[in-house]
């Protein structure tokens, strides 16, 4: 037990440890869980290592990335810590929270909800940007000045939003098949209406395309990979082209590398394939 953190499990892996913790969150008013990978240098030598945060997609939890992403050998080699938070509050007693895989449990869209019945617990923007990061900085040997973020699908949306809303906080951001323009997508309009209400102007705070169009901060390095066989890409749920156009129209320094990967879909097989390149992309910026 450390500073309100309860150790659930610890396993040795790739010259480091994967640990699961749970804690009572002030943001979400419920027990939350997260995993952290720490290379040995952060454990035995107390070296303050860079840290990556990964946000998972719809229906996922804190375990998906650790068990299926293929990141750990590359993180170990580069001596980078990884934190994987859950995707939403769980079991908070909201009527219907488990009825729809696109809304409620596992589907927070990383927003701070303003509408009933979600607003008391669904404060995932604050949880990820402030609470869990401070917990990690206070309790583990990581360097709070060398932080990057990435994610998949809904989590890619979250990673882009957090980086664009907090200029200078993250050294780099990347995403696998992110939801890029939720205000104009079925994956976004439904959730934003429920969580944020009918005032669409308020949605722009959580829309990566709108944020990129208005971005006015220091240079931000962004890497996006999208598979052209992704059914959610073909159904226009993701809309990376909108994000590309927004970054091109903004003369502020967003350095975007958006890559289309032939024949890849939306799965973790796709993520595993390009994970090494994403880790090395972040390592370059975290260790610059």
How much is the average pLDDT of 188-199? 97
Neighbour count for residue 35 (Cβ, 10 Å): 23
Of 1-10, 20-29, 199-208, the one with minimum mean pLDDT is 1-10
Express each pLDDT in 86-107 by its tens digit. 999 999 999 999 999 999 999 9
The whole-number pLDDT of residue 157 equals 98
Based on the residue annotation, tell me whether 266 is a catalytic residue of this protein: yes
Q: One of 112, 174, 230, 282 is an active-site residue; which one?
A: 230
Q: One of 153, 163, 172, 174 is an active-site residue; which one?
A: 153
Neighbour count for residue 91 (Cβ, 10 Å): 11
User: Which one-letter DSSP state was computed for residue 104?
Assistant: B
228 backbone dihedrals φ, ψ, rounded to 5° = -80, -5
Based on the residue annotation, tell me whether 198 is a catalytic residue of this protein: no
Average pLDDT score, the chain: 96
150 has a pLDDT exceeding 80: yes
Please check whether residue 124 is in contact with residue 104, taking contact to mean a CB–CB distance below 8 angstroms: no
**CB neighbour list of residue 119: distance below 8 Å, 6 or more residues apart:** 113
**CB neighbour list of residue 232: distance below 8 Å, 6 or more residues apart:** 153, 177, 187, 238, 266
The whole-number pLDDT of residue 1 equals 46
Q: Would you call 80 helix, strand, or coil by DSSP?
A: coil
Q: One of 23, 181, 266, 282 is an active-site residue; which one?
A: 266
Query: Bridge partners of 261?
Result: 227
CATH topology of domain 5-286: Rossmann fold (3.40.50)
Based on the residue annotation, tell me whether 112 is a catalytic residue of this protein: no
The whole-number pLDDT of residue 12 equals 98
Please check whether residue 228 is in contact with residue 177, taking contact to mean a CB–CB distance below 8 angstroms: no
Express each pLDDT in 197-255 by its tens digit. 999 999 999 999 999 999 999 999 999 999 999 999 999 999 999 999 999 987 668 99
List strands edge to edge, sheet with 220-227: 6-12, 16-24, 31-39, 81-85, 49-55, 142-152, 172-176, 220-227, 254-261
Percentage with pLDDT > 70 across the chain: 98
């Amino acid at each position: 037990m450390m500073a309100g953190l309860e150790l659930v499990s610890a396993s040795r892996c790739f010259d480091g440890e994967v640990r699961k913790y749970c804690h009572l969150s002030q943001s979400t008013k419920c027990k939350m869980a997260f995993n952290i990978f720490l290379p040995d240098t952060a454990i035995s030598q107390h070296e303050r290592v860079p840290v990556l945060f990964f946000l998972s997609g719809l229906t996922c939890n804190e375990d998906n990335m650790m068990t299926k992403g293929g990141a750990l050998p590359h993180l170990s080699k580069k001596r980078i810590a990884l934190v994987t938070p859950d995707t939403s509050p769980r079991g908070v007693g909201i009527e219907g929270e488990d009825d729809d895989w696109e809304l409620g449990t596992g589907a927070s869209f990383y927003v701070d909800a303003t509408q009933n019945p979600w607003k008391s617990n669904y404060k995932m923007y604050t949880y990820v940007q402030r609470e869990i990061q401070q917990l990690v900085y206070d309790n583990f040997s990581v360097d709070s000045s060398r932080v990057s973020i990435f994610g998949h699908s809904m989590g890619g949306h979250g990673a882009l939003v957090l980086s664009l809303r907090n200029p200078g906080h993250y050294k780099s951001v990347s995403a696998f098949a992110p939801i890029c323009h939720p205000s104009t997508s079925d994956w976004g309009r439904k959730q934003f209406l429920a969580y944020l209400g009918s005032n669409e102007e308020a949605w722009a705070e959580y829309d990566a395309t709108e944020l990129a169009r208005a971005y006015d901060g220091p240079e931000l390095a962004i890497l996006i990979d999208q598979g052209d066989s992704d059914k959610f890409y073909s159904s226009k749920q993701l809309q990376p082209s909108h994000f590309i156009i927004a970054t091109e129209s903004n003369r502020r320094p967003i350095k975007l590398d958006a890559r289309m990967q032939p024949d890849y879909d939306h799965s973790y097989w796709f993520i595993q394939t390009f994970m090494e390149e994403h880790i090395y992309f972040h390592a370059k910026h975290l260790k610059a």
